[in-house]
Every structure is written in C-alpha cells, then in structure tokens.
Amino acid sequence: MTIDRLNGIDPVKPVQPIQRTQRTEILNKADAVSVSSEARVLSDANIALEAVRNAPDIREDKVAEVKKKFEDPSYINNALLELVADRILDDYGL
C-alpha cells in the first residue's frame, strides 16, 4: 500500500473565485387569509354551542315570574290545571 501519492480518491479541487449573487427585489406583499363559507358556518355554530353551554340551566327570571303568579290565589283555576295536566300527558305520550 502506497501512501505517498497525491492523486487520492478525492483530489484537491482548484479554488474558484467567489461569485456574488445579484440582489433580488424585495416585494412587499401582504399576507391574505381566505375563510370558506363552510368554516364561517361552523364557527358560528361553535359560538352558539359555547353560549348554550355557558347559559345557566335554570332561568331565574322565569322562576321568579311563576312564583309571583302562584302567590296570586286567583291564578290557579280549573282551566290552568287542565292545561298543565294536558301538557304532562303530552310529554309522556299519553
């Protein structure tokens, strides 16, 4: 095996002069985002869903209104009782 040879596997390449690259023109383009109508609908649905999830389960204003009506003795009559009974039966499918 000879080690003294100058032409090895990767011979030394001659030095090449540096070539400067030309400056490219900088374009000031604004970024743009396009949102599809389907994405807008889904976003609106998500906002509505979050509003429903964050809403209280009990509507205090309605509860107060009903309590006030029950305090009036003339409020509860046969017509009201029949209406409530009919709604209960409808809810149970009877």
**pLDDT confidence of residue 12:** 67
The answer as to whether 8 is a domain residue is no
Number of domains in the chain: 1
Q: Alpha-carbon distance 49 to 44, whole Å?
A: 9
**pLDDT confidence of residue 51:** 92
The domain in which residue 82 lies consists of: 60-94
The answer as to whether 42 is a domain residue is no
Q: How far is CA 11 from CA 3, 8, 79, 85, 86, in A?
A: 14, 6, 108, 102, 101
77 and 69 Cβ atoms separated by less than 8 Å: no
What is the reported pTM?
0.34
pLDDT truncated to tens, each residue of the chain (94 aa)? 566 665 556 566 767 778 887 777 777 778 889 999 999 999 999 999 999 999 888 888 999 998 988 888 787 788 888 999 999 999 998 8
Q: Alpha-carbon distance 85 to 79, whole Å?
A: 10
The answer as to whether 48 is a domain residue is no
